[in-house]
Amino acid sequence: MKKLKGALIGCGFFAENHILAWKELRNIEIICVCDLDIKKANKFKSKFNILHSYSSIELMLKKHKIDFVDVVTTMETHLNIGKILSKYKIPTSIQKPFAENLLNAKKIVSLYKKNKTPLMVHENFRWQSPLLKLKEIINKEKLIKPHYAKISFRHANPVGYTNQTYLYDLKEYLTLDVGIHLFDLSRFLMGEAKSIYTVNQNTNNKFKGETDFISLIRNKNKSITIVDASISSIKKPDRFAQTLVNLEFSNGSIDLDYNYKIILHKNNKKKIYDGKPKKYKWISKPWDQIQESVINTHKHFIYSLINRVKHDTSGEDNIKSLSLVFNSYKSDKLRKEIKI
Ligand code: NAD
Ligand code: 89Y
């Protein structure tokens, strides 16, 4: 099969994981990289042995026949980048948070719809091996009628934000940056939400926005999800960047615990599974399960393009997770439960 030719936009911190993950896929070649800062683009090009580097997306698209683009820039740039890529009808995968407000996210979705061009949000937490294994066991063990979920991301390791200094200045921080993943996981595991009630806290004054939040979600299937996250949760060993999950069903329960240990309780028995991510040379703790999930997310993007099926986390789908994020802020502000 002919290799698909891709371009990567944004040569910052997280793009290194994207390019290394692309290199694990045999039918793909990233032929161009682009960054507004040409020095960064050139450095990235040499480091990862890419053919071309640009500082202008339009120029890059005019010069090369590109089958897809992977956008690894921060949210406030996505509408403008989406305007260009949808105009050229280039299938796009775009990092989370999809946009800084719902209006812009909807604008991007309608641009791609109008141009009949596929658009996926790179929502990678549901593609982490421990989460995929959890879902696989739920299905295999026929756990039914869920009534309770707790999805937690609590740590005190600055590695989560010292590489991403733009996070310090966000007025809306942890829910938008990490809550977006956790709300998506609630939808992945428990189905769609009906309402949300949230309390935010700031526990670290280096940040303008909230550094802790607790949300209570009523789901359409009548189950409840508790989502909580913090960057001030001191534990040894530190829990970054592991999402811990507890789920209860009418016929059993299952937990995703620290170190990817999965524990199933069913028929008066306890079974233990291992949800460890696969090892690759460039992957290391504490980012391992996030890094590995980038490969899985890329694979899903390409598989859906080739088979002409809608992506699980299409732009349209991600608006549902983003809507939970912005209604979560509204709930905290108004101190009330908000219907979705
Ligand atoms: P970064 O600031 O390090 O890099 C972004 C780069 O994009 C910069 O070099 C900037 O110059 C470039 N850029 C901005 N606008 C551009 C444009 N119009 N054309 C070309 N280049 C442009 O950011 P980062 O830390 O790499 O984060 C990028 C995104 O990845 C963020 O949205 C972040 O939330 C997300 N992220 C996701 C995960 C995950 O697990 N999914 C983890 C970390 C970061
Ligand atoms: O930006 C965040 C994300 O998406 O995953 C972890 C992170 O990098 C910092 O908490």
* Confidence (pLDDT) at 329: 98
pTM, two decimal places: 0.97
The pLDDT score that the predictor gives to residue 55 is 98
Residue 270: strand pairing partners: 265
* 3-class SS of residue 313: coil
The pLDDT assigned to 159 comes to 85
pLDDT of 105 > 80? The answer is yes
Ligand 1, atom 40: nearest CA belongs to which residue?
290
Q: Which residues of 137-170 are buried (b: 16+ CB within 10 A; e: fewer)?
A: bbeebebeebeebbbbbbbbbeebbeeeeebeeb
- Place 91 in a pLDDT band, splitting at 50, 70 and 90: very high
Q: What is the mean pLDDT of residues 264-282?
A: 97
Instruction: Give mean pLDDT, residues 260-270.
Output: 97
Tell me, what amino acid is at 304?
Answer: S
* H helices present in the chain, as ranges: 15-22, 38-48, 57-63, 78-87, 102-114, 129-140, 159-162, 174, 180-190, 288-306, 315-334
* Average pLDDT value for the chain: 97
Q: What is the pLDDT of residues 140-194, one digit of tens each?
A: 999 999 999 999 999 999 987 889 999 999 999 999 999 999 999 999 999 999 9
Report, as an integer, the average pLDDT of 321-334: 98
Average pLDDT of span 241-265? 98
Q: Give the per-residue pLDDT at 178.
A: 98
What is the distance between the alpha carbons of residues 212 and 123, in angstroms, rounded to a whole number? 21
Q: Which ligand is nearest to the CA of 241?
A: 2
- Give me ligand 1 centre to Cα 10, in Å: 6
Find the ligand nearest to 123 CA: 1
CB proximity list for 2: less than 8 A, separation 6 or greater: none
- Asked if residue 12 has its Cβ within 6 Å of ligand 1, the reply is yes
The predicted structure's pLDDT at residue 2: 83
Which of 164, 207, 210, 242 for a ligand 2 pocket mutation test, highest count of atoms within 8 Å of Cβ? 164
